[in-house]
A and B are shown apart, each in its own frame.
Chain A
Amino acid sequence: MQLDKLYQEVILDHYKNPQNKKLSATYDAQVHHVNPSCGDEIDLNITIKDGRVEAITWDGVGCSISQASVSILTDLLIGKSIDGAYKIYDEFVALMQSKGTVEGDEELLEDAVALAGVSKYPARIKCALLGWMAFKDASVQAQAK
């Protein structure tokens, strides 16, 4: 079934058991992002210490793709250097914009390669990117402090 390439097991797992989905009391930056075409919303807190992503917490409502994507993001980016996190971010954005032509670097993206199937569904790319855009925004704001 074509759909199974989109809804990989790992996506449904993250959707049902989202990681770091509880906004922390303290943070360096907090952002609120919305997908205006569908109403999905996310709040994301970030803490950056000594050039490393120390914490990312979030809360939000949305489809399985948007919720799983941000959950995977937190697993992947917490503990990484900012430069390393941005490298993963760039790779993920490129994967989403690939229209299904690339598989994604599994070494770099780990669980996030499961979202590769999204790139074949143009209407869903924004769902997968919602949390990543929030991360980028929050990290820039946190570093500007």
Chain B
Amino acid sequence: MAFDATAIRADFPIFDRKIRDGKRLVYLDSGATSQKPNSVINAESNFYRLHNAAAHRGAHQLAEEATEAIESARATVAQFLGGKEDEIVFTKSSTEALNLLAYAIGSAPKGNKFNLSAGDEIVVSEMEHHANLIPWQQLAARTGAVLKWFEVTPEGRLDLSEINSVITSKTKIVALTHQSNVLGTINPLTELVKRSHEVGAVFILDACQSVPHMPVNVAELDIDFLAFSGHKAVGPTGVGVLWGRADLLAELPPFLFGGSMIESVTMTEATWAPAPRKFEPGVPNMAQIVGLGEAVKYLSNIGMSEIHNHEIALTKYAIAKMSEIADLRIIGPTDTVLRGGAISFTLGKIHPHDLGQFLDDAGIAVRTGHHCAWPLTRKMGVPATTRASFYLYNTLEDIDQLCTSILAAQKYFG
């Protein structure tokens, strides 16, 4: 079946509403959060309507159904990523998943593979979202490890020319984004993963902007950990995923302690359940996990390659059209090679907040500011940008409306 964005829009009830006095909703902010299809909304609310009980606890039918519902979502997510069921840890967000890693690594005792000591090195990049920068920056500060980073070229690509001096025999952790939420740049991972493993470092992938938009297979990428969030992948808020290699999850100490993550407890000691349970204390966000399972099914039915190709086509069209606008400067790659559908730009002297407000008045939702990647916007020499980000439900008409309104904004503020 051919990809049909208009038919897809019909699955998303939010597109039935009007914005700012009767205008068509042009939603170009999926990089921040995606809209939700009916199947996800129904799965989440049906869990509460029909199956609600505490999973992994209780001896009754509802508890069994709740357990089955979240474990079946785990299997769906595992298959989607090319991992094993026991390698999927549900968190409340990808931010929590990355912090879980940073805190768990920080508490690894001497003799544990993850133990960090002064002089060890952690590698990130200048294009990280704050959620994949600050946990590592602070972990370095707590342990005396040294934070190093790959720089970003003026074209918005990772500068890998010094890869062997950035990732060294002292490197323990390499934590990089798969796709920049600001630039749209997709990072080439093969060489980075190879080099990381060569020196014995673990490779952690922030896949928040890639998993929702293109095929991502952890086995093919040969990475060690991956984090993504449900709400950017047509799923609910309140659920994120940490995938980790089974042997590494077994070695990694727990982060949060509490109910159902234990094997045995006395007043003075405790031992841990095997992963993923070890990392999932407390009653999980069950309805959201079930919703995420449904979201992943929804995306898989359409096809991740089809979604990616659709976004590439939109991006190509948008870059061509936006490049014709005087004073519009795209911050990031201007081709579609290793590039996803997030386009950040500046517009002469018009401040992004003013442009964003003007576009909002026309029913167009974009993101403005530094996009939680302040070091990157500084590096690119701009105080803030406007970002249009695309997803499976966007159309060429959305981009036409964006460009028409950008031109109108230039007149208004000019």
Contacts and interface: CB of A to CB of B under 8 A. Distances in A.
Do A and B assemble together? yes
A16 B374 CA distance: 27
A127 B353 contact: yes
A1 interface: yes
B132 interface: no
Interface residues of A, number: 20
Interface residues of B, number: 18
Contact of A2 (B21, B370, B374): B21
Interface stretch (B230-238, B335-343, B354-362): B354-362
Interface in B395-414: 412-413
B358 A3 contact: yes
A1 B353 contact: no
A3 B357 contact: yes
Contacts of B369: 37-39
A10 to B, nearest CB: 15
Contacts of B94: none
A94 interface: no
Given A38-B369, A38-B370, A6 B383 contact: no
B405 to A, nearest CB: 11
A12 B354 CA distance: 11
Interface stretch (A20-28, A58-66, A76-84): A58-66
A2 B358 CA distance: 10
B374 A12 contact: no
A2 B361 contact: yes
Interface of B: 20-21, 351-354, 357-358, 361, 368-370, 374, 377, 383-384, 412-413
27 contacts: A2-B21, A3-B357, A3-B358, A3-B412, A7-B354, A12-B413, A37-B369, A38-B352, A38-B353, A38-B368, A38-B369, A39-B374, A39-B383, A40-B353, A40-B383, A41-B383, A61-B383, A62-B353, A62-B383, A63-B351, A63-B352, A64-B353, A64-B354, A66-B353, A121-B357, A124-B353, A124-B357
Interface of A: 1-3, 6-7, 12, 37-41, 61-66, 121, 124, 127
Closest 5 CB pairs of A and B: A63-B353, A63-B351, A38-B369, A3-B361, A39-B370
